[in-house]
Amino acid sequence: MNRQAQAAVLFLLGAALLHAGLTDLYLRYVKAGLRPMLLASGVVLIAAALATVWYEWRAGRQRPQGKGHAHPEPRVSWLLVLPLLALILVAPPALGSYSALRTGTALQQPYGYAALPADGPLRLNLVDYAGRAAYDHGRSLGDRQVKVAGFVALDRTGTPYLVRMALNCCAADAQPVKVGLTGRIPPVLQPDTWLEVTGTYTAKRTKDPVNGGPIPFIEVTGAVPVEAPKDPYDETWNN
């Protein structure tokens, strides 16, 4: 790979990072808070590519004609093309039920619980509901109606769970938070279908067979399919 090829690869990789960062594509890879760093990386790579082209052009003008020769770079440098191809050709789906059922719950006891509205149905983040149900034993929920959303996962026995994948940094460290469904469960559930579930707190719970972590349940009174959110991952669990 000569310098011109290196510059082309750097430019395309930077452009791909900018494309991902300026659209919702980057949410498949990293959490939303890393968007500025992703955009900055794209700008740096493009700047490096342009600087390489300029340096080669200037060196070519200063070099006497017919003198000098290029030193080929190691062939391993072509591996730089692989992440470029991955960004351009592959748009992986967000992690779903397959990963959720093979990874232990990431639910952790929160430091505290935010105050809830005094009346009306509660629209809660699934991780927030799970924390209140598992560690606060539903005291802050009482018998109030709750709405939570997530994707469906079915274990080997057919028990349905509503899941959100939580992450610290990127999709590589994503872990599930699971809430079991009981009560008026829809008769047909497809894994990875996104649902908004309406229900109430129940003391029923189980242990995650992977890591023994707590999985609380919700007493379902209704459920409707919803579109998957633009950001399929949840970042609130470790805040």
Domain boundaries, the chain: 3-89, 97-238
Q: Helix %, strand %, coil % for the chain, to 5?
A: 40, 25, 40
pLDDT score at 219: 97
Q: Is the pLDDT of residue 190 over 70?
A: yes
Q: Is the pLDDT of residue 202 over 90?
A: yes
Which position has the higher pLDDT, 211 or 55? Answer: 211
pLDDT score at 167: 78
pLDDT score at 137: 92
| Percent of the chain surpassing pLDDT 90 | 38
- Tokens 């020769």 belong to residue: 69
Q: Is the pLDDT of residue 239 over 50?
A: no
User: With left for phi above 0 and alpha for psi between -120 and 50, is residue 212 left, alpha or beta?
Assistant: left
Which is the CATH superfamily of the domain at 97-238? Nucleic acid-binding proteins (2.40.50.140)
For the segment 186-191, the average pLDDT, to the nearest whole number, is: 90
Question: Dihedrals φ, ψ of 130, to 5°?
Answer: -60, -40
Which position has the higher pLDDT, 19 or 239? Answer: 19
CB crowding 59-75: b at 16 or more within 10 Å, else e: eeeeeeeeeeeeeeeee
pLDDT score at 104: 92
pLDDT score at 173: 75
Single out the residue of 171, 21, 17, 168 nearest to residue 94, CA to CA: 171
User: Contact at 8 Å (CB) between 20 and 34?
Assistant: no
User: Token digits for 149?
Assistant: 């959303």
pLDDT score at 237: 45
CA 9 to chain centre: 27
For 51-174, strand residue ranges (E) read 122-123, 146-154, 160-166
User: Token digits for 159?
Assistant: 């028990």
> Which of the residue ranges 44-53, 58-67, 130-139, 222-231 would you say has the lowest mean pLDDT?
58-67
Neighbours of 212 (CB within 10 A): 9
What is the rounded distance in angstroms from the CA atom of residue 78 to the CA atom of residue 82?
A: 8
What is the rounded distance in angstroms from the CA atom of residue 5 to the CA atom of residue 37?
A: 25
User: Contact at 8 Å (CB) between 235 and 125?
Assistant: no
User: Token digits for 31?
Assistant: 């959490």
Which position has the higher pLDDT, 90 or 106? Answer: 106
User: Contact at 8 Å (CB) between 163 and 176?
Assistant: yes
Single out the residue of 148, 161, 149 nearest to residue 98, CA to CA: 161
